[in-house]
Amino acid sequence: MEGAIVITGLVVLALIVSIPCGYIRQNYPKYSFMWFLLIHLPIPFIVLLRIEAGLSWHIIPLTLGGSIAGQIIGGSVSRRRKQNVKAP
């Protein structure tokens, strides 16, 4: 049970760390250097946390899913904020 809590925490942390990167990524042209950098920036941090927690590579798909979800959430928040600013 304790391992499940650690895995869940790591996935949630991957999601939270990726939200700001997804938010900022929306300000750059698609496939530009900064766009790629902001997508990959949280990955070394997440890998370090996974290794420090003593988790195997089998957890990578879960943390990758959390990171992708964070990028999507951050990007959609940025788009919505831009739409709300232009609306009035």
* Domain range annotation of the chain: 2-83
Asked if the model's pLDDT at residue 62 lies above 80, the reply is yes
| CA-only gyration radius of the chain, Å | 15
| pTM for the whole structure | 0.88
Asked if the model's pLDDT at residue 65 lies above 90, the reply is yes
Work out the angle at residue 39's Cα, subtended by the Cα atoms of residues 35 and 40, and round it to the nearest 5 degrees.
120
The whole-number average pLDDT for the span 42-65 is 94
Q: What are phi and psi of 67, to 5 degrees?
A: -70, -40
The whole-number average pLDDT for the span 57-62 is 94
Which pLDDT value is given to residue 45?
A: 94
- Number of neighbours of residue 88 by Cβ within 10 angstroms: 4
Helix (H, G, I), strand (E, B) or coil at 87: coil
Residue type, 24: I
| Residue bearing tokens 């942390």 | 13
